[in-house]
């Protein structure tokens, strides 16, 4: 049995990370998954694209599950709203096979990841960190409403 060095490194990084670093790592995983989904889309590999988007959705679910509404206040509420819109938008990207939607979400996630990195830096410096309040764009809200209204279970 061989040991995967990348897996060992990731496990070590997770075990030694502070909570904010873990959030940053989760954002990085979602971005990685979506970049892989874009690659699969380019190859017309529907199965791989679906797997990657599904994994991204699972990670977003993990991020959503870590929200602390008692101490997070408005930021936690805004993040919850963002995660819900992100999930709806990723479902739409999957249904439409849209690389543009996926790329737009990667851009949004990278911006938010940078905000979390700033929070981490502030926390390490002993300052009171604060995430900017997130507001969904009208385009995201419209997209999410369209997906929700077209969804038949």
Q: Specify the higher pLDDT residue, 4 or 79.
A: 79
Which positions ≥6 away from 66 have C-beta within 8 Å? 23
Maximum pairwise Cα distance, the chain: 52
pLDDT at site 74: 93
The least confident of 70-74, 99-103, 136-140, 149-153 is 149-153
State what percent of residues in the chain have pLDDT above 70.
Answer: 73
pLDDT at site 17: 65
d(CA 53, CA 91): 8
pLDDT at site 76: 92
d(CA 69, CA 76): 6
Which positions ≥6 away from 135 have C-beta within 8 Å? 78
d(CA 24, CA 19): 9
pLDDT at site 5: 63
pLDDT at site 19: 85
pLDDT at site 11: 57
pLDDT (tens digit, 9 = 90+) per residue, 26-78? 999 999 999 999 999 999 999 999 999 999 999 999 999 999 999 889 999 99
Cβ contact 61:80 at 8 Å: no
pLDDT at site 6: 59
Domains of the chain are 19-147 (1.20.120.340)
Specify the pTM.
0.75
Q: Is it the case that residue 84 has pLDDT exceeding 70?
A: yes
């Amino acid at each position: 049995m061989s040991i995967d060095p990348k897996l060992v490194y990731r496990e070590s990084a997770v075990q030694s990370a502070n909570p904010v670093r873990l959030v940053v790592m989760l954002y990085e995983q979602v971005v990685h998954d979506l970049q892989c989904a874009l690659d699969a889309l380019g190859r017309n590999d529907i199965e791989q694209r679906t797997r990657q988007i599904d994994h991204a959705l699972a990670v977003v679910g993990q991020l959503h599950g870590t929200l602390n509404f008692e101490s997070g206040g408005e930021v936690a509420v805004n993040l919850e709203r963002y995660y819900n819109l992100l999930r709806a938008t990723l479902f739409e990207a999957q249904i439409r096979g849209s690389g543009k939607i996926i790329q737009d979400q990667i851009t949004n996630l990278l911006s938010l990841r940078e905000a979390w990195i700033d929070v981490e830096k502030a926390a390490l410096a002993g300052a009171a960190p604060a995430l900017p309040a997130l507001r969904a764009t009208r385009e995201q809200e419209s997209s999410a409403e369209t997906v929700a209204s077209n969804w038949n279970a």
